[in-house]
Amino acid sequence: MAERPEDLNLPNAVITRIIKEALPDGVNISKEARSAISRAASVFVLYATSCANNFAMKGKRKTLNAGDVLSAMEEMEFQRFVAPLKESLEVYRREQKGKKEARKDKDKKADSEEQDKSREEDNDDDDERMEEEEQNEEEEVDN
Amino acid sequence: AEMAAARLSGTENRLVSLPLSRIRVIMKSSPEVSSINQDALFLTAKATELFVQYLATYSYKHGRGKEKNALTYTDLSHTAEECETFQFLADILPKKILASKYLKMLEKEKRDGEVREDDDEGEKEEDEDKA
């Protein structure tokens, strides 16, 4: 998939909001400054990805995992991010788990009128859909 | 747990505001990357938010800009040049110079060159270290 130039940029509205919330009330941000920060953020993603990928390759893995990103932060001299990132990750994982449980329950309710055999087939579909999340759990074990 | 999430997110109580789909596009633009685990994607997005906050607050605090109630481009390029952690941004946040100043610099260099040539008439040594 070819990326259009704007796809490598982050949404202006979100960037502006993050900046505004970080700075004291009443501080103006010039349009130029906002645009510069947005570009810097994209460069940050590329730099972090490249760095994380080096760690994945060192571990002979083809998939970037959480540990790779955290190692990248230390390598890039953003150690200050590591603790808050770990906290956020815990919340995120719990949220994802909760969503998965909710989806399983919802599907069970929908299946309640079908026979046992078809219910098993639907569960297989569920497994395919949640492949990414299951991959997460496997990665967690590796971590 | 909800309070922790609110404290961490900082933006409308969401855990992360930057869209994961867009972050993924940028990450995948790196040719050597094969696949990205969901946790890694989330962490990259969250780290980028922390980065934006850090860059903005650092530049505002250390900016030598004349305006105290504004964050300007100059504050940012100053940070990229002075702070080691942000030096990877130096190329995309170059210092700005007024066109008139630049033209004056060029003229001055030219004039200095001409003056030096006149001085060298009687000498055989050449000064190669003209910065």
Chain segment A90-111, per-residue pLDDT in tens: 999 999 999 888 888 888 888 7
Give residue A130's pLDDT: 45
Taking contacts as CB-CB distances below 8 angstroms, the residues of chain B near A45 are 23, 26-27, 44, 48
Give residue A143's pLDDT: 40
Give residue A136's pLDDT: 43
Distance from A56 to chain B by nearest Cα, in Å?
A: 10
The predicted model gives B82-90 an average pLDDT of: 96
Strand partners, B11: B14
Taking contacts as CB-CB distances below 8 angstroms, the residues of chain A near B25 are 3, 7-8
> Is B103 an interface residue toward A (CB < 8 Å)?
no
B15 CB-side CA count, 13 A: 22
- 8 A C-beta contact, residue B45 and residue B18: yes
* Domain B2-96 CATH superfamily: Histone, subunit A (1.10.20.10)
> Is A10 an interface residue toward B (CB < 8 Å)?
yes
ipTM of the complex: 0.75
Shortest CA distance to B56 belongs to which of A37, A12, A41?
A37
With a CB cutoff of 8 Å and minimum separation 6, the contacts of B53 are A18, A19, A21, A22, B10
| Cβ pair B60:A87 closer than 8 A | no
Give residue A91's pLDDT: 96
Of B16, B29, B53, the CB nearest to A22: B53
Mean pLDDT of chain A: 83
Which residue on chain A is closest to B45 by alpha carbon?
A45
| Cβ pair B44:A66 closer than 8 A | no
With a CB cutoff of 8 Å and minimum separation 6, the contacts of A133 are A96, A100, B38
Give domain limits for chain B: 2-96, 97-131
State pTM to two decimals. Answer: 0.73
In order of A112, A115, B73, the CA distances from A119 in angstroms are: 8, 6, 60
Which comes out higher in pLDDT, residue A52 or A101? A52
- 8 A C-beta contact, residue B52 and residue A22: yes
Distance from A116 to chain B by nearest Cα, in Å?
A: 32
Is A142's pLDDT higher than 60? no
Least confident of A34-43, A109-118, B83-92: A109-118
